[in-house]
A and B are shown apart, each in its own frame.
Chain A
Amino acid sequence: MIHQYKLNGYNIVLDIFSGSVHSVDEVAYDIISMYQNKTKDEITEIITEKYSEVTKADVKDCISDIEELIADGKLFTEDKYADLAFDFKKNNTVIKALCLHIAHTCNLNCEYCFASQGKYHGERSLMSLEVGKRAIDFLIENSGTRTNLEVDFFGGEPLMNFDVVKEIVKYARSIEKENGKNFRFTLTTNGMLVDDDVIDFANKECHNVVLSLDGRKEIHDNLRKTINNKGSYDTIVPKFQHFVERRGNKNYYVRGTFTHNNVDFTNDIFHMADLGFTELSMEPVVCSPDDPYALTYDDLPVIYEQYEILAKEMLKREKEGKPTTFYHYMIDLTGGPCIYKRISGCGSGTEYMAVTPWGELYPCHQFVGDSKYSLGNIYDGVTNKEMQDNFKLCNVYARPDCKDCWAKLYCSGGCAANAYHATGSINGIYEYGCRLFRKRMECAIMMKVAESTDKF
């Protein structure tokens, strides 16, 4: 399977199953598009008629190049990964990442929160140190030979239970070496409780921090309000700036959510950049279509255009020596994921699980609160094997809708939770999200082509 598209003056051909990316001229673009459906004579006739300057010999040369690429396994490569997908995941029994729900409570009252203002449709709750330590032990016990283990402090707002966060990290650090493990902690915070103590801790211990900011003040304050119904922008922005300034070159993301209210979200991303943040992420809101801020199909053309504007502006800023990173445009064509990663999906319910404040296990943070998805707990392990098996079988080849999608090895089948909420099945797809994903990939790869061909 190939995918061809034109963007920002580039003609791009993706060979899906080898991962090859080709930048071609108009003639080659047209020849490749006809190669599998027309004879060489037909192609020659069409091309020489369309392009007066192109000779029959030119067409022949181009076809010869195409055949060379096919022989090298870089064009029209066949898909032979389906069996690998099922076998690999079925045999994968290790857990390597936990999302610890440190606090099912929040000091903000964000309207669009999928966690229902941090409480996940349940009671306010804080994780105890005893549960947190047991979660660390559970992860080590179930991680097999994996060295790098990820733990995300999530909520609600995890800093509302900061003392427990610190003690869990202290505990994990005290036993990681003897167990041959390397913990990578991530802290996701809304910023309200960030102070020097938090910054010192996070900059010493956390591999990554995710700082929630939606962009422009009026956009941010519209949905990210305090319990007293006031905007949180003025409180958090100086804290985040101080945080990032002191973070040096360690990983962080300033992460926003865009909604129907700000489909011109590049203005929010550029606002973040203008505030001095360089590592940026902006996610489309995931909510009920009935919510007033839900993205609509009418928004799609605008959003597509926004992604293009973002890619072009990022190339411009890079050229000017002011590079920014956009999470969804980070793509490493030479050092990206192997085929196993690309076909097996996000790992929810298998190698990645969420732990509630009381130690219950869920396939991921987005399933927490939906009791039929409870997998077990950190004391008894996974007891709902039937449900876990559903996740083990969930991969890009298990989703019929992904069969003919060119982006399937870039997305690995998408988010199981989004699919479930959109279709009722984790093997469905969240089609709206797919459309956005494909556009983002086209932009991300175009940027790589631009960088490689030095045209920008």
Chain B
Amino acid sequence: MKRIQTIETRDLKKSTISGGCGECQTSCQSACKTSCGVANQQCEKCLEKK
């Protein structure tokens, strides 16, 4: 595409099928302790694949 570059991302719709194992880190447990966000968390399954 000439004017649009799509960055590679995880397809969230597809993850309704592959996701939900719950092995990932709890959001607040790693560093913040006073706020919440999930975007900076890793998928455990994806980590294993790497």
Contacts and interface: CB of A to CB of B under 8 A. Distances in A.
A213 interface: no
Q: Which 9 A-B pairs have the closest CB atoms?
A: A338-B19, A335-B46, A28-B3, A338-B15, A410-B39, A97-B26, A415-B36, A340-B20, A346-B27
Given A19-B9, A335-B46, A414-B35, 14 more contacts: A22-B5, A23-B4, A97-B25, A186-B30, A210-B30, A210-B31, A253-B30, A327-B32, A331-B39, A333-B9, A338-B16, A339-B12, A341-B19, A412-B36
Interface string A421-440: 00000000000010001001
A99 B33 CA distance: 10
A146 B41 contact: no
Interface stretch (A118-126, A220-228, A374-382, A448-456): A448-456
A437 B35 contact: yes
A104 interface: no
25 contacts: A17-B13, A18-B9, A18-B11, A19-B9, A19-B11, A20-B7, A25-B3, A25-B4, A62-B4, A73-B13, A81-B16, A84-B16, A97-B29, A284-B35, A334-B9, A335-B49, A338-B15, A338-B16, A338-B18, A347-B27, A352-B29, A411-B36, A411-B37, A415-B35, A453-B7
B11 to A, nearest CB: 6
B8 to A, nearest CB: 6
Contact of B38 (A69, A286, A329, A410): A410
Interface residues of B, number: 45
A339 B5 CA distance: 24
Nearest to B39: A410
Interface stretch (A127-135, A147-155, A194-202, A301-309): A147-155
Contacts of A23: 4-7
B12 to A, nearest CB: 4
Interface string A4-32: 00000000010001111111110110000
B38 A27 contact: no
A414 B32 CA distance: 12
Interface stretch (A88-96, A156-164, A165-173, A314-322): A88-96
A440 B37 CA distance: 11
B10 A19 contact: yes
A101 interface: no
A82 to B, nearest CB: 12
B28 A364 contact: yes
Contacts of B33: 154, 188, 210, 255, 283, 365
A348 B33 CA distance: 11
B12 A17 contact: yes
Contacts of A366: 34
Contact of A418 (B19, B27, B34, B41): B34
A385 B3 CA distance: 54
A77 interface: yes
A22 B24 contact: no
B24 A328 contact: no
B1 to A, nearest CB: 4
A250 B26 CA distance: 18
B23 to A, nearest CB: 5
B13 to A, nearest CB: 6
A335 B10 contact: yes
B9 A99 contact: no
A150 B29 contact: yes
A150 B25 contact: yes
A3 interface: no
Contacts of A336: 10, 39, 41-43, 46
